[in-house]
């Protein structure tokens, strides 16, 4: 019954949801290992990611991070792991924070006076040390975040259920922290909020790239999206020349591939389960696959993208076209 219900949603003759029309605000996408032999594929086109076209700049990756220094991030993750943290560890962290993350100094000094660092602090500080965009903290504009916390710091005791509901939409990790913390805990976040606002303002300051409507995207020959035709080129970005070599990354998708078969197809559905089309993957699945589809076929980026590699897609998109994806939740 479940399979038959799913088949009915595919609507292969239409590929359009009656509710979402040609602009789905929430999409669910993923790859599927269903394809055909490599010898039947179309003539290989030049990939835009490897062409000699002028490179477009996105965001500087280090400026997307709350803590740019890799070594200091690793030290934080180690110290605030599952085991307890000692006063000596915090002293070492304070010294490092003065150089690499000044916004953390008041937080660490505050925690040094607490006998056992609470779990909600450990979770928040580990989130700060992640190697993904700091904009993942906040699903809102810098102005909205600043307005909320300006009010909070003026009236720190005025935290009600309605206030927390608002925070859950603006900044999910801080919502979790607020649920388990007290007023003294929350007041230590003033410099952190300033840093987070600074990152959001940096992303918002980037102009959207004016890409040509005539596409040379490699996805054009391999994609079938009847209600989402190609409307602009993908563009070539400076970050396309960077190769991620951290094979221990738990979020990295690894696949050996098949010597005679193509990797599969990449499907895009709306929130109502209607399939909008598919892209035959000529190479292994990566964040570039959904990035190219969305960048070339959507007039406006979706409000939310549900994908099992969203963490990497988030950074991938913001490193290239932050203005286009700045309001998208991953």
What's residue 298's pLDDT?
A: 93
Asked if residue 46 has pLDDT above 70, the reply is: no
Longest Cα separation, the chain: 67
**Predicted pLDDT at 219:** 44
| Distance (Å, whole) CA 218 – CA 223 | 9
| Residues 6 or more apart in contact with residue 49 via CB below 8 angstroms | 236, 237, 240, 288
321 vs 134 pLDDT, higher one: 321
Query: By the 8 A CB rule, do 86 and 78 touch?
Result: no
Q: pTM to 2 decimals?
A: 0.73
Q: How many residues are present in the chain? A: 330
Residue written as tokens 């560890």? 89
Is the pLDDT at 279 greater than 60? The verdict is yes
45 or 268: which carries more pLDDT confidence?
Answer: 268
Q: Where are the domains of the chain?
A: 7-59+209-325, 62-204
**In this model, does residue 290 exceed pLDDT 80?**
yes
Residue 34 has pLDDT above 90, yes or no: no
Query: Is 215's pLDDT higher than 50?
Result: no
């Amino acid at each position: 019954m479940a399979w038959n219900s799913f088949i009915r949603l595919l609507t292969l003759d239409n590929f359009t949801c009656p509710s979402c029309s040609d602009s789905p605000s929430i999409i669910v996408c993923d790859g599927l290992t269903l394809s055909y032999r490599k010898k039947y594929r179309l003539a290989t086109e030049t990939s835009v990611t490897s062409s000699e076209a002028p490179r477009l700049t996105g965001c500087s990756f280090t400026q997307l991070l709350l803590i740019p220094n890799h070594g200091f991030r690793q030290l934080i993750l180690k110290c605030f792991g599952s085991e307890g943290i000692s006063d000596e560890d915090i002293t070492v962290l304070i010294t490092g924070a003065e150089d690499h993350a000044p916004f953390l100094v008041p937080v660490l000094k505050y925690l040094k006076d607490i006998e056992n660092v609470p779990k909600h602090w450990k979770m928040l500080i580990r989130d700060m040390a992640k190697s993904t965009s700091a904009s993942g903290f906040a699903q809102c504009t810098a102005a909205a975040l600043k307005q909320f916390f300006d009010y909070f710091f003026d009236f720190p005791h005025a935290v009600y259920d309605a206030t927390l509901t608002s925070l859950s939409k603006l900044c999910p990790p801080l919502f979790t922290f607020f649920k388990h913390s007290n007023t003294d805990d929350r007041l230590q976040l003033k410099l952190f909020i300033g840093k987070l606002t600074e990152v959001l303002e940096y992303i918002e300051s980037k102009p959207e790239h004016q890409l040509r409507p005539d596409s040379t995207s490699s996805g054009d020959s391999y994609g079938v999206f009847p209600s989402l035709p190609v409307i602009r080129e993908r563009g070539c970005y400076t970050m396309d020349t960077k190769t991620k070599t951290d094979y221990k990354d738990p979020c990295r998708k690894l696949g050996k591939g098949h010597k005679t078969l193509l990797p599969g197809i990449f499907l895009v559905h709306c929130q109502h389960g209607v399939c909008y089309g598919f892209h035959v993957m000529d190479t292994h699945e990566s964040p570039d696959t959904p990035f190219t589809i969305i960048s070339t076929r959507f007039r406006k980026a979706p409000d939310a993208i549900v994908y099992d590699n969203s963490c990497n897609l988030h950074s991938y998109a913001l490193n290239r076209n932050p203005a286009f994806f700045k309001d998208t939740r991953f």
